[in-house]
Amino acid sequence: MIVPLAAALNSCRLYPGHHPSIMQHTTEALGSLRLHMVQNKVVIDAEDHNVLRINGVSVAVDTAEAKKLFVKLRQRGIARIIFGKGIDAEELKGFFLALSSSGGAFGTFENIVVSSFRKTETTEQEPSLADVHEIAAVRRLYREIRLYKNVDMPNVDGIVGGIIAGIRKSRDLSRLLLPDSAGEDRFYVHAYNVAMLSVLQAEHIGLGNALLHDIGFAALVHDAGKTMLPRYLEDRHDSLDEEGWKLMKKHPVYGAALLSAIKKVPVLAAIVAFEHHMKYDGTGYPETRRHAKKLHLVSQMVGIADWYCALSSDLPHRKPLDPPAILGLLNAMAGREFDPLLVDNFVLAASVNR
Ligand SMILES: [Fe+2]
Ligand SMILES: [Fe+2]
């Protein structure tokens, strides 16, 4: 993969920006990047001692072209580049032209994140292209459901696969959860984070990959019914009047109906959409005559995840609580709103260091 990237960079050095050779090499480099995407991205690390790492795998820098690429990255102080799935030839060409120049600001790219050596040495959170992609993928999932009553399964596989890989690497909630977002994206970030925490609990119980996939999917779409409510309800979630709440409380029923009408959606997703606001002690909504302790295990895990995410998010009227404070509150609710065994499981799952 290094050779086509190096060739594109070289053509930018040799020819003026509009020369067809640049676009030809860039297109080849783009094809190679797409072939090497893992979880919708390619990560290139330029480490010391003439070693480049592509998606974590070391590649010897032993050809002239590869050396030029390596040296250029080092000259520009670049420690890491992340290429995201949405990248196109124009954007990649802009990146190579910026890289081939002798210095100055790098500019910003929608689907490429460049980190300097100095930045990776700090603990400061980097702007994460991966985050942007996850949000875009969840947005796409909801759009398909709402407009076309359809689900693009490879898109879901990508999101849930990334979640499962993430929790197997680290249990640090501050790393796993996406940061709060403003506007419409807040809804998608919430869906993603609830899925992350639901899969975390399910994996800790010991469930296998196939089940984790369905649980991740169900958790991602637990609030699908909200897409059938007037938009202002979500925007004013914290200051709804009685009428607004009446409508809001219909989202589990709407969600279950919407999801059960889509063939590709596992039945579990409709069950979770219906039950995620029903509580262990019989409170919550929708009100049914069914014994609350018969709630589906996954609905209960998603309910805990949903509750956690609500307390950890930054809202206009309330600052987010930190993880220890939320876990303390959760422990106090064991046996009331939440099943005590599932509370224990959540606390343990979130506390294991990896
Ligand atoms: Fe909900
Ligand atoms: Fe929710």
- Residue range 144-155: average pLDDT? 92
pLDDT at residue 44 in the model? 87
The alpha carbon of 277 and the centre of ligand 1 are apart by a number of angstroms equal to 6
- Per-position DSSP letters for 277-292, written without gaps between them: TB-TTS-BSS--SS-G
The alpha carbon of 201 and the centre of ligand 2 are apart by a number of angstroms equal to 16
CATH number at residue 231: 1.10.3210.10
Beta-bridged to residue 53, according to DSSP, are: 45, 58
Q: State the Cα–Cα distance between residues 274 and 48, nearest whole angstrom.
A: 53
Name the domain boundary from 121, 140, 173.
121
Q: What is the pLDDT of residues 222-238, one digit of tens each?
A: 999 999 998 777 666 66
Reported as type and span, the H/E element at residue 60 is strand 57-60
The alpha carbon of 270 and the centre of ligand 2 are apart by a number of angstroms equal to 14
> Do 63 and 107 fall into the same domain?
yes
The alpha carbon of 281 and the centre of ligand 2 are apart by a number of angstroms equal to 19
Name the domain boundary from 53, 88, 121.
121
The alpha carbon of 24 and the centre of ligand 1 are apart by a number of angstroms equal to 49
CA-to-CA separations, 155 to 137, 152, 195, 214, 298, in angstroms, rounded = 7, 5, 15, 14, 22
> Do 73 and 107 fall into the same domain?
yes
> Do 56 and 79 fall into the same domain?
yes
The alpha carbon of 190 and the centre of ligand 2 are apart by a number of angstroms equal to 7
The alpha carbon of 129 and the centre of ligand 1 are apart by a number of angstroms equal to 27
Q: What is the pLDDT of residues 128-140, one digit of tens each?
A: 666 778 888 999 9
The alpha carbon of 191 and the centre of ligand 2 are apart by a number of angstroms equal to 7
Q: What three-state secondary structure class fits 59? A: strand
pLDDT level of residue 291 (50, 70, 90 thresholds)? low
| Structure token digits, residue 307 | 């509750």
Boundaries of domain holding 245: 129-351
The alpha carbon of 346 and the centre of ligand 1 are apart by a number of angstroms equal to 19
Q: State the Cα–Cα distance between residues 118 and 334, nearest whole angstrom.
A: 45
Q: State the Cα–Cα distance between residues 67 and 75, nearest whole angstrom.
A: 12
The alpha carbon of 252 and the centre of ligand 1 are apart by a number of angstroms equal to 7
Selection from 333, 195, 165 nearest residue 342 by Cα: 333
> Do 156 and 293 fall into the same domain?
yes
Q: State the Cα–Cα distance between residues 171 and 281, nearest whole angstrom.
A: 29
> Do 90 and 112 fall into the same domain?
yes
The alpha carbon of 76 and the centre of ligand 1 are apart by a number of angstroms equal to 47
| Structure token digits, residue 283 | 């409170």
> Do 135 and 35 fall into the same domain?
no
**In the Cβ-directed half-sphere of 295, how many Cα atoms lie within 13 Å?**
31
Question: Residue 255: nearest ligand to its CA?
Answer: 1
Count of domains observed in the chain: 2
Phi, psi angle pair for 276, to nearest 5°: -65, -15
Question: Residue 189: nearest ligand to its CA?
Answer: 2
| Structure token digits, residue 344 | 């224990």
Asked if 160 contacts 212 with a C-beta cutoff of 8 angstroms, the reply is yes
> Do 222 and 94 fall into the same domain?
no
The alpha carbon of 184 and the centre of ligand 1 are apart by a number of angstroms equal to 16
Q: State the Cα–Cα distance between residues 347 and 334, nearest whole angstrom.
A: 11
Reported as type and span, the H/E element at residue 24 is helix 20-35
> Do 76 and 147 fall into the same domain?
no
The alpha carbon of 136 and the centre of ligand 1 are apart by a number of angstroms equal to 20
> Do 211 and 335 fall into the same domain?
yes
Name the domain boundary from 79, 97, 121.
121
- Residue range 183-188: average pLDDT? 80
> Do 158 and 94 fall into the same domain?
no
Q: Which residues have CB atoms below 5 A from the ion given as ligand 2?
A: 223, 306
Q: What is the pLDDT of residues 68-104, one digit of tens each?
A: 787 778 777 777 888 888 899 999 998 888 888 766 5
Asked if 169 contacts 354 with a C-beta cutoff of 8 angstroms, the reply is yes
> Do 60 and 79 fall into the same domain?
yes
Q: Other CB atoms closer than 10 Å to residue 62's CB: what's the count?
A: 9
> Do 197 and 316 fall into the same domain?
yes
